[in-house]
């Protein structure tokens, strides 16, 4: 198969873009990653952000008169992404604190001993659930979360008519384990 002149030019241009991207990656990766790591303080997040920078370079490369300015573009994009990540993290923390305060205010108790007892009870229930067969634990958690038999059946991939039996067996297993755990 022979290529037309336009196809050949497009293929050469694509190969040239890929070669320039590879060269930019080799030249700037470690410094971009280090910059982002110092900025966000998390290795995995810094790696994700550095990859995002190169993805943006691949997807829509800047129109630079001088190829030596590519590094500046990469670092500018990286710092923008890093600061956006920090702002998002700060916002998320603020929302989580506000949500936690609301929950605390709504469920504030004048009985700290009772709250501690409830926390121990929840931990005991989680321990029992961890030691149960996975499907039995799933049935109990799904039912306790308010799902109907049909919804539980869909979640577990079983027939709706078998959910009652699965639930009864799971409740029996839970009760046996719970009582023997005391």
- Could you count the other beta carbons within 10 Å of the beta carbon of residue 28? 20
Torsion of CA 77, 82, 83, 86, to 10 degrees: 160
* Separation between Cα atoms, residue 176 and residue 128, nearest integer Å: 10
pLDDT at res. 164 = 93
Write down all domains in the chain, each with its CATH number in brackets.
5-104 (1.10.1740.10), 111-180 (1.10.10.10)
pLDDT over threshold 80, residue 1: no
pLDDT digits (tens, 9 = 90+) for 158-176: 998 999 999 999 999 999 9
Give the distance from CA 74 to its chain's centroid: 25
| Angstrom distance (rounded) from CA 54 to CA 141 | 43
Q: Which long-range contacts (CB under 8 A, 24 or more apart) does 176-182 make?
A: 177/128, 177/131, 177/132, 178/124, 178/125, 178/128, 181/124, 181/127, 181/128
- Whether the pLDDT of residue 95 is over 80: the answer is yes
Which comes out higher in pLDDT, residue 97 or 16? 97
pLDDT tens profile 102-152 = 776 666 667 778 888 888 888 888 888 888 888 888 898 888 888 889 889
44 touches 31 (CB < 8 A):
no
Q: Are 89 and 97 in contact (CB under 8 A)?
A: no
Dump pLDDT digits (tens) for 7-58: 777 777 677 778 888 888 898 899 999 999 998 899 999 999 999 999 998 8
The span from the CA of 125 to the CA of 178, in Å, is 7
Q: Which residue has the higher pLDDT, 119 or 2?
A: 119
């Amino acid at each position: 198969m022979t290529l037309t002149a336009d196809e050949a030019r497009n293929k050469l241009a694509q190969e040239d873009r890929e070669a320039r991207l590879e060269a930019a990656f080799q030249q700037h990766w470690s410094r971009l990653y280090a910059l982002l790591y110092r900025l966000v303080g998390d290795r995995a997040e810094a790696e994700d952000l550095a990859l995002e920078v190169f993805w943006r370079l691949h997807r829509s490369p800047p129109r630079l008169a001088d190829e030596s300015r590519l590094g500046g573009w990469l670092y500018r994009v990286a710092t923008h992404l890093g600061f956006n990540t920090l702002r998002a993290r700060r916002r998320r923390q603020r929302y989580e604190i506000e949500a936690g305060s609301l929950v605390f205010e709504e469920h504030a108790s004048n009985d700290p001993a009772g709250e501690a007892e409830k926390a121990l009870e929840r931990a005991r229930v989680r321990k029992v659930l961890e030691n149960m067969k996975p499907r039995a634990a799933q049935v109990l958690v799904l039912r306790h979360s308010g799902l109907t038999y049909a919804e539980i059946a869909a979640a577990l991939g079983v027939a709706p008519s078998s959910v009652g039996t699965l639930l009864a067996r799971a409740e029996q297993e839970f009760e046996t384990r719970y009582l023997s755990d005391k």
